[in-house]
Amino acid sequence: MNVSKPCILVTGGTGYIGSHTVVALIEQGFDVVIADNLCNSELFILDRIEEISGVRPRFYQVELCNVSEIESLFDQEKSIKAVIHFAALKAVGDSVNAPLAYYKNNLASLISLLEAMQHASVKHLVFSSSCTVYGEPDHLPVTESTPIKSALSPYGNTKQIGEEILVDHTKASDTSCIALRYFNPVGAHSSALIGELPIGTPNNLVPFITQSAIGKLGPLRVFGNDYNTPDGTCIRDYIHVEDVALAHVAAMNRMLKSEQKDSFEVFNIGTGNGNTVLEVIQAFELSTGMNLNYSICDRREGDIEKVYADTSRSNQILGWKAEKTLLEMMASAWAWEKQLSNTIK
């Protein structure tokens, strides 16, 4: 018999990583409630989650910067036992151009959520953090104890400050938190029913690749080829979004089973491998049989030269490990792009 697991609130649950995590939670037997203001996602994703999982999560269109709106949600959903917090603005380049919007949205929403959780006596939080907290690291791969350097973008700084808020809050309260510092999530669900759906021109590499390949955009732009890397382009640790989703399930299980050693814990979520931009382009071409047109442009402000993870802590303590290859990431992203082009005009 499949015993129902606790109710989890997922903020930003119709977004890219959020929607995949909602599916993974439902498949593991959790009851899921979604809160999202739909500023960077679409409501039809709820239909897709239901199509994949057979369950339609309860949905609230909530402005998370407004603590009274979140408190009202908790008052209506009294069975919520824990929260996974994805909701945030997340584009590095955009944050450089609009820093106040990023600080206001990302930090005010976190503070309001924590206040509402206290009001509702909800004590467990999984926080969506980022490898951007490491800045430009001196040594690779980065471990969870790698020194935190100055962030190179307002987005990265909101994640650093967010973690600092959570460290202080967990010391002063009975709240426990696991922060997952994930690297570069890419790809789409194996069903091709959900995937990355950027509003406007993509800021991330893989949706720019797929939209360029399908003809929505012109030639792909590669930002800089003069970095100190094997081919001159930036190196990132690309990880399949389904693997990232399973990391959140593992973190949630750790919290609910009271296995945490500290009230605030951090885990890197990546593959442990670094790939250049040109290697990602080559992987897309190899996995799809297509040729991409691209041009080399100037470096983009806020970009880090190279970063990839040491994942031994998350492998050993969370019992989680990334499984999918770069070719699988590219193939799934292309399947999603084609399906999106066929069904959404």
**What average pLDDT does the segment 292-303 reach?**
89
What amino acid occupies position 344?
A: I
Calculate the CA 62 to chain-centre distance. Answer: 19
Phi-psi region of 202 (alpha: psi -120 to 50; beta: other; left: phi over 0): beta
The answer to whether residue 341 scores a pLDDT higher than 70 is yes
**What average pLDDT does the segment 268-273 reach?**
97
Note if the bond before 230 is cis, omega within 30 degrees: no
Please state the CATH superfamily assignment of the domain spanning residues 7-186+239-270 in this structure: NAD(P)-binding Rossmann-like Domain (3.40.50.720)
Q: Is 110 in a helix, a strand, or coil?
A: helix
Q: Strand 235-236 and strand 275-276: pairing?
A: antiparallel
Q: Is 155 one of the annotated active-site residues of the chain?
A: yes
Which pTM does this prediction carry?
A: 0.95
| Cα dihedral 161, 166, 171, 172 sign | positive
Place of tokens 């959140």: 248
Retrieve residue 11's tokens: 């903020």
Closest to 146 (Cα-Cα) out of 133, 157, 129: 133
The answer to whether residue 4 scores a pLDDT higher than 90 is no
Q: Which residue has the higher pLDDT, 197 or 332?
A: 332
pLDDT bracket for residue 1 (50, 70, 90): very low
Closest to 60 (Cα-Cα) out of 18, 10, 104, 22: 10
**What average pLDDT does the segment 302-306 reach?**
85
CA atoms of 238 and 212, how far apart (whole Å): 19
Partner residues linked to 266 by β-bridges: 179
- Among the listed residues 16, 134, 155, 308, the single catalytic one is 155
Per-residue pLDDT reduced to its tens digit, 88-146:
988 777 888 899 999 999 999 999 999 999 999 999 999 999 998 888 889 999 999 99
Distances (CA, A) of 249 to 58, 191, 243, 246: 19, 19, 10, 5
| Residue 194 neighbours by CB distance under 10 Å | 25
CA atoms of 222 and 249, how far apart (whole Å): 34
The answer to whether residue 44 scores a pLDDT higher than 60 is yes
